[in-house]
Amino acid sequence: MYVVTINQDTCEGCGECADNCPASILEMVDGKAQVTGELDDCLGCETCMSVCPSGAVKVEES
Ligand code: SF4
Ligand code: SF4
């Protein structure tokens, strides 16, 4: 399983992570990205991390 953490302070609200997550578990909430789906569905692809311009996303295997 993977743990996806989004730093709410450094997220710039671009929406790229949510738009590009193949598992559709990320959503924009009040202008910031959040994990709103099941982490069980995360593929660990790290796309969210790659597309983030501010390094706000962290994907770790737990
Ligand atoms: S690692 Fe991949 S599947 Fe998991 S949240 Fe990021 S983009 Fe989505
Ligand atoms: S890609 Fe990064 S800056 Fe853009 S919404 Fe996602 S976490 Fe925020």
Segment 23-40, tens digit of pLDDT: 999 999 999 999 999 999
Q: Tell me the CA–centroid distance for residue 10 and ligand 1, in Å.
A: 18
Q: Tell me the CA–centroid distance for residue 37 and ligand 1, in Å.
A: 11
> Residue 31 burial (CB < 10 Å; 0-12/13-18/19+)?
exposed
Give the pLDDT confidence score for residue 4 in this predicted structure.
98
CB 45 within 8 A of CB 1: no
- The CATH architecture assigned to 2-61 reads 2-Layer Sandwich (3.30)
- Tell me if 6 CB under 6 Å of ligand 1: no
> Domain ranges in the chain?
2-61
Q: Which is nearest to 5 in space by CA: 26, 21, 30, 28?
A: 26
Q: Mean pLDDT across the stretch 41-52?
A: 98
